[in-house]
């Protein structure tokens, strides 16, 4: 197959995969289109078998890691961790929306960092809403804080976001070195988000609250908390002795899974569902299709646009480019495209890309223009959601957060070294 034909075919396949992932025709899982597309890319030679195998070998452990974290978060929810979080917030807020916002920031940041952004969006957000309702406070600042932090607070650990796991595999950084370099950008970005949200929602927060009834005290799931703590320690130890930290995540998930199975709180079927196998297949297939396109021209085309070096201006430009790409379609394909181009420039460049792809999606309420436009088309008949407010918030928060986070990353790289 000629290079031009391979490039055209890869581009068509990528558009098809991403288009179907956004549109989800007939509600089919995204993998239903993505996996055959990857098979076509391999069968037609658009990607060589060697490259496909190399991509699968690189993505395999990432996907396993991701599955373990998804299961861990789901089992923590079933152990009552998120309900306990709600009880704690309601008690500690003492009827003040300002204090509730502070607690939402702490919990959403920690949960996103440790149990990934999926956990914050799917499991924590409903709890935060329920807590704000119990306090009689306006829910908007707290729910918006969850959605923003699921992106912004996913900078800290490789497990916080799939984009980070992909970058970890590509950059050659260790788990602990990644966390050490990202802790300052993480804190700085969260700090900026707090200042922006607190000012932006000043009216809603000042409206006060009228707590209803007594606040219950749900039992603290000590076993789940201890397991998560040991898993975190396991990440560090595994990283220090040179074992893949995914094993620590597996161990943590396995401990909670066995306990839940023995107590008949879950079933093997539910565990497999929690691992989201179609999603894992989608990520693998997407990786192969993107690799085919990067091999045949996209790499050299975008290569000119990707700034070299790791000085402050280069880091800022990389982060901005990554945020822009993430906002066009989604941050997952954006990071898959940018990683092979930036990895040769060193860890600093890869981490700058992560700042862009992780913080950038806050600009639009659905994470990207493609998803946003599609939702506007299919939901035209539904009660109209005013996008203006979310977009205004994003337009203030994203540039400010990104700039401060890049400064913090540059400082970290200067002090610790890339």
Partner 1 sequence: MSRPGPPKQGGTNGAVRHVVAWIVEGTWPACVDAVRTHAPGDADIVLVHVPEPEVAGAAHGAFAGLLGRGRPARDPGLALSEQATASGEALLAEAAARLARPCTTRQRTGRVEREVVAESDGADLLVLARDGDRTHLGPHSLGPHSRFIVDHAPCAVLLVWPESAPAPDTIPPPPPPPAP
Residue with tokens 């199975």: 261
Kindly write down the DSSP assignment for every residue of 16-37, as one continuous string. Answer: HHHHHHHH-GGG--THHHHHHH
Pick the closest to residue 349 from 303, 395, 394 (CA basis): 303
Is 313 exposed, middle or buried (CB count within 10 Å of its CB: 0-12, 13-18, 19+)? Answer: exposed
Which stretches of 136-215 are DSSP H helices? 140-152, 162-171, 175-200, 202-206
Segment near partner 1 (CB under 8 A); pick from 40-48, 257-265, 304-312, 383-391: 383-391
Out of 69, 283, 293, 351, the residue judged to bind partner 1 by CB under 8 A: 283
Do 248 and 238 form a contact (C-beta atoms < 8 A)? yes
Q: Does 122 bind partner 1 (CB under 8 A)?
A: yes
Asked if 79 touches partner 1 (CB under 8 A), the answer is no
CA distances from 358 to 76, 139, 161, 394, 401 (A): 24, 24, 8, 13, 11
Which residue's structure tokens are 């969260």? 190
Closer by beta carbon to partner 1, 50 or else 384 = 384
Of residues 50 and 386, the one with the C-beta less far from partner 1: 386
Binding partner 1 (rule: CB under 8 A), the pick from 16, 180, 366, 411 is: 366
Question: Can residue 150 be called a binding residue for partner 1 (CB under 8 A)?
Answer: yes
Answer yes or no whether residue 396 interacts with partner 1 by CB under 8 A.
no
Residues 6+ apart with CB under 8 A from 127: 82, 83, 85, 86
Q: What is the closest distance, in whole angstroms, from the C-beta atom of residue 59 to partner 1 in the complex? A: 13
Residue 47 CA to residue 226 CA, distance in Å, equals: 45
Check: CB of residue 356 under 8 Å from CB of residue 322. yes
Q: What is the largest CA-CA distance in the chain?
A: 71
Burial class (CB in 10 A: 0-12, 13-18, 19+), 298: buried
Report the nearest approach of partner 1 to the CB of residue 386 (Å): 6
- Provide, rounded to whole angstroms, the least separation between the CB of residue 181 and partner 1: 25
Is residue 50 part of the contact set for partner 1 (CB under 8 A)? no
- Residue 378 as a binder of partner 1 (CB under 8 A): the answer is no
Asked if residue 377 binds partner 1 (CB under 8 A), the reply is no
Segment interacting with partner 1 (CB under 8 A) among 84-92, 217-225, 274-282, 293-301 = 274-282
**How far, in Å, CA of 260 to CA of 300, rounded?**
50
Taking each continuous run of H as one helix and of E as one strand, the counts in the chain are 21, 0
- Residue 305: phi and psi, rounded to 5, are -80, -20
Binding range to partner 1, per CB under 8 A, among 44-52, 208-216, 223-231, 238-246: 208-216
What is the Cα gyration radius of the chain?
A: 21
**Residue number with CB closer to partner 1 (349 or 398):** 398
Query: CA-CA distance, 130 to 107, in Å (whole number)?
Result: 15
| Min dist. Cβ of residue 269 to partner 1 (A) | 14
- Write the binding mask 317 to 356 for partner 1: x where contact by CB under 8 A, - elsewhere: -------------x-xx-----------------------
- For partner 1, the closer of residues 78 and 389 by Cβ is 389
Q: Is 29 in the site for partner 1 (CB under 8 A)?
A: yes
Could you tell me which stretch among 185-193, 201-209, 292-300, 409-417 binds partner 1 (CB under 8 A)?
201-209
Residue 224 CB, nearest distance to partner 1 (Å)?
Answer: 20
Is residue 30 part of the contact set for partner 1 (CB under 8 A)?
yes
Shortest approach of partner 1 to residue 27 CB, angstroms?
7
Residues interacting with partner 1, by CB under 8 A?
21-22, 24, 27, 29-31, 34, 97, 117-118, 121-122, 125-126, 129-130, 133, 136-140, 143-144, 146-147, 150, 202-204, 206-210, 212, 276, 278-279, 282-283, 286, 330, 332-333, 361, 364-368, 371-372, 375, 383-386, 389-390
């Amino acid at each position: 197959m000629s290079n031009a034909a391979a490039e055209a075919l890869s581009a068509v396949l990528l558009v098809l995969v991403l288009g179907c992932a956004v549109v989800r025709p007939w509600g089919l899982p995204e993998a239903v289109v993505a996996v055959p597309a990857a098979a076509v890319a391999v069968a037609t030679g658009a990607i060589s078998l060697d490259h496909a195998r190399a991509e699968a070998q690189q993505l395999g452990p990432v996907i396993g890691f991701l599955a373990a974290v998804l299961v861990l978060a789901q089992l923590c929810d079933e152990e009552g961790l998120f309900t306990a979080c709600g009880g704690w917030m309601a008690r500690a807020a003492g009827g003040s929306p300002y204090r509730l916002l502070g607690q939402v920031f702490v919990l959403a940041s920690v949960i996103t960092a440790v149990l990934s952004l999926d956990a914050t969006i799917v499991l924590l957000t409903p709890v935060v809403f329920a807590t704000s309702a119990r306090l009689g406070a306006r829910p908007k600042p707290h729910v918006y804080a969850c959605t923003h932090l699921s992106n912004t607070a996913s900078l800290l650990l490789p497990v916080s976001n799939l984009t980070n796991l992909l970058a970890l595999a590509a950059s050659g950084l260790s788990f602990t070195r990644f966390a050490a370099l990202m802790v300052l950008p993480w804190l700085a970005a969260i700090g900026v988000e707090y200042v922006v949200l607190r000012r932006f929602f000043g009216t809603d927060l000042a409206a006060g609250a009228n707590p209803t009834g007594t606040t219950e005290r749900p039992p603290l799931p000590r076993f789940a908390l201890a397991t998560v703590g040991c898993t975190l320690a396991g990440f560090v130890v595994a990283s220090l002795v040179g074992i893949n930290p995914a094993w620590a995540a597996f161990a943590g998930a396995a401990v909670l899974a066995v306990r839940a199975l023995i107590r008949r709180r879950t079933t093997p079927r539910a565990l497999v569902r929690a691992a989201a196998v179609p999603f894992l297949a989608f990520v693998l297939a997407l990786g192969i299709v993107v690799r085919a396109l990067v091999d045949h021209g996209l790499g050299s085309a975008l290569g000119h646009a990707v700034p070299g070096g790791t000085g402050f201006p280069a880091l800022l430009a990389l982060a901005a480019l990554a945020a822009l790409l993430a906002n066009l379609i989604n941050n997952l394909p954006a990071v898959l495209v940018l990683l092979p181009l930036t990895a040769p420039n060193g860890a600093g460049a890869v981490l700058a890309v992560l700042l862009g792809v992780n913080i950038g999606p806050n600009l639009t309420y659905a994470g990207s223009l493609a998803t946003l436009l599609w939702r506007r088309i299919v939901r035209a008949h539904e009660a109209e959601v005013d996008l203006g407010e979310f977009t205004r918030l994003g337009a203030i928060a994203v540039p400010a957060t990104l700039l401060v986070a890049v400064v913090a990353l540059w400082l970290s790289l200067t002090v610790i070294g890339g």
